[in-house]
Amino acid sequence: MSKLILTRHGYSLWNAANKFTGWVDVPLSERGRAEAMIAACKIDDEQIKVDVCFTSLLIRAIETAIICLTECEGVRNGKIPIIQHDIDDPDWHGWNKYEGNPAEELPIFPTSALDERYYGELQGLNKADTIAKFGAAQVKEWRRSYYTRPPGGESLEDTVKRVFIFYESRIFPYIEHGNNILIAAHGNSLRSLIMKLDNLTPEEVPSVELITGIPVVYNLDEKGNVLSKKILT
């Protein structure tokens, strides 16, 4: 059996400013870091020992992952978290030449596949101001429709496609081997995973709400079937 832990990043500085964030790389707020620390303690209370971590390329998700894996030694099972950068990235400094030590290290894999939904021209805009300009119905359509793209951005359907591909190619092999997996990501990339795990329809998934810093734990068999689900409130 494998445990898959989904954690939406802690509260960011743009969450506090009520702005559309998307791919803008905004760090956690003090509240967000505290939420991540509490999430670590909740995972530790469940006596879950993480074997591998995936996160987006955005700092708020990476910060959340690092805090979750360093606040409580039990969560990382005494191992040292090591960020494993993309070996195909021409701008990286050769870290890929290090093969790692699985007995002592816990790999963290950052990937753009788990980035937040791209909000295009809405990024950086205050949500209340955007509602005042375009109307509540239009903004709700941009934010919560499965198929509609905001101006210049991604639909939830677009996000689901990239997340599904990554899940099947990179995450699922760890499930087959019974590993415990932590994923620190974003509201929409995690909605995409929940859509798959809970067999939700395009009409159901937009209404899924994820609270910052609250882990959701799935128990999965080796075929990826959900045996149970628990929200660590």
Domains of the chain: 2-231 (3.40.50.1240)
Share of the chain above pLDDT 70, in %: 95
Least confident of 85-89, 153-157, 200-204: 85-89
pLDDT of residue 93: 67
| CA–CA dist 130, 17 (Å, integer) | 13
Give pLDDT tens digits for 70-127: 999 999 999 999 998 876 666 666 656 677 788 999 999 999 999 999 999 999 999 9
Residue 205: pLDDT band (50, 70, 90) is: very high
CB atoms under 10 Å from CB of 92, counted, come to: 11
This prediction has a pTM of 0.95
Give pLDDT tens digits for 7-60: 999 999 999 999 999 999 999 999 999 999 999 999 999 999 999 999 999 999
pLDDT of residue 99: 74
pLDDT of residue 88: 61
61's tokens: 């998700």
- 196 appears as a binding residue in the annotation: no
Q: Report the pLDDT averaged over residues 215-232.
A: 98
- 31 appears as a binding residue in the annotation: no
- 147 appears as a binding residue in the annotation: no
Q: Give yes or no for a contact between 169 and 228, defined as CB atoms under 8 angstroms apart.
A: no
- 11 appears as a binding residue in the annotation: yes
Query: Which residues is 217 bridged to in the sheet?
Result: 5, 230
pLDDT of residue 85: 80
- 144 appears as a binding residue in the annotation: yes
| CA–CA dist 166, 79 (Å, integer) | 25
pLDDT of residue 98: 73
- Give catalytic residues, as residue numbers: 9, 116
Q: What is the mean pLDDT of the chain?
A: 95
| CA–CA dist 125, 196 (Å, integer) | 31
- 170 appears as a binding residue in the annotation: no
pLDDT of residue 92: 66
- 100 appears as a binding residue in the annotation: no
Dihedral pair phi/psi, residue 205, rounded to 5°? -65, -35
pLDDT of residue 47: 96
